[in-house]
Amino acid sequence: MGTDLREQFLSPRRLFELADTIAGQPISQLCAEGPLERLTQTEIAQPAVVVTSLAALAVLQEQLDVKPAAVAGHSVGEFAAYVAAEVLTPEAALRLVQVRAQAMAEACSAVDGTMAAVIGLDEAAVHAFCAEASQSDSAVEVANLNSPGQVVVSGARAAIDRVRQIAKDRGGRVLPLNIGGPFHSVYMRPAAETLAQALEETRFRAATVPVVLNSTAQASQEPAELRRELEVQVYSPVRWIETVQRLAELGCDQFLEVGPGMVLSGLVRRILPQAKIASFGSLAQLPEVRSLLQIAVA
């Protein structure tokens, strides 16, 4: 994650060094060498994903002068999106992510929770299953609306097991996810409260371009709304289908995924089959980005 960017360019190197300092952890080394079981722990994974995204963003800005027309981020990816829209500085984003990651790790330790993908059922049906499966001591909620036919649920493991049986009886499938806890559910409210204090102490600027928010799929450029979003999204569903559709309504027909992996590119293809899409998280993908943006090689 980001190793070739760090080796080739100064800005990514400095960003990873900053992430190491803020986290008090060897984020750079873990991104380069693993082990995977350590890298995927909540308190490491979140800063690792964001710093890799910021490193990729810095390369795009410095080498290709990429300027977005609008931005969105999926879950913790909203922090990198805010940097792209100049709402937060990279340092402020990394400091907030560190608070978020630690608070969410603590919230996860208080419950035996996880997440799972429900395949082949619509949002209304999954909401109904979650209501039926939830009990006073074990709740489950819709967490991510990722693409048509894929709804992710989050909550107590016992409640998700009940959702799995309900879905099976009614023609759906539930696939467990290798996730560190019940993110984007009621169990994350304590983490949101901790993060809220750090958000209040951080300067938010007006966004230079529209930011489409996870929790509402509405576009905003207002600092107060953008601050509130980062608190609310911790325990709210990520409305990714509507987010991508909103970007299209804003006139976006080219989508560039910035950061590690290509998961979001795949989701966008399912939501907007006609969209032009590229991913950038490593130097090998630069030709793909140039092609998308029709930038000639100097």
What whole-number distance in Å separates Cα of residue 191 and Cα of residue 20? 22
- Catalogue all structural domains in the chain, each as residue range(s) with its CATH number: 3-108+187-293 (3.40.366.10), 112-181 (3.30.70.250)
Q: What is the pLDDT of residue 186?
A: 97
Give Cβ neighbours of residue 298 (< 8 Å, ≥ 6 apart): none
pLDDT one digit per residue (tens) for the chain, 298 residues: 999 999 999 999 999 999 999 999 999 999 999 999 999 999 999 999 999 999 999 999 999 999 999 999 999 999 999 999 999 999 999 999 999 999 999 999 999 999 999 998 889 999 999 999 999 999 999 999 999 988 999 999 999 999 999 999 988 899 999 888 999 999 999 999 999 999 999 999 999 999 999 999 999 999 999 999 999 999 999 999 999 999 999 999 999 999 999 999 999 999 999 999 999 999 999 999 999 998 766 5
> Please, is 296 exposed, middle or buried when counting C-beta atoms within 10 Å of its C-beta (0-12, 13-18, 19+)?
exposed
Please provide residue 41's backbone torsions phi and psi, each rounded to the nearest 5 degrees: -70, 140
Q: Closest Cα to residue 170, out of 136, 223, 206, 122?
A: 122
* pTM of the complete model: 0.95
Give CA torsion, residues 258, 68, 146, 291, to 10 deg. -60
Which one of 74, 154, 184, 215 is the catalytic residue?
184
Q: State the DSSP string of 30-52.
A: HHHH--HHHHTSHHHHHHHHHHH
What whole-number distance in Å separates Cα of residue 217 and Cα of residue 242? 6
Are 236 and 214 contacting, i.e. CB atoms less than 8 angstroms apart?
Answer: yes
Helix (H) or strand (E) holding 8: helix 3-8
Which one of 75, 147, 265, 282 is the catalytic residue?
75
Position 158: which residue type?
A
Q: State the DSSP string of 251-289.
A: T--EEEEESSSSHHHHHHHHH-TT-EEEEESSGGGHHHH
Residue 127: active-site member: no
> Please, is 48 exposed, middle or buried when counting C-beta atoms within 10 Å of its C-beta (0-12, 13-18, 19+)?
buried
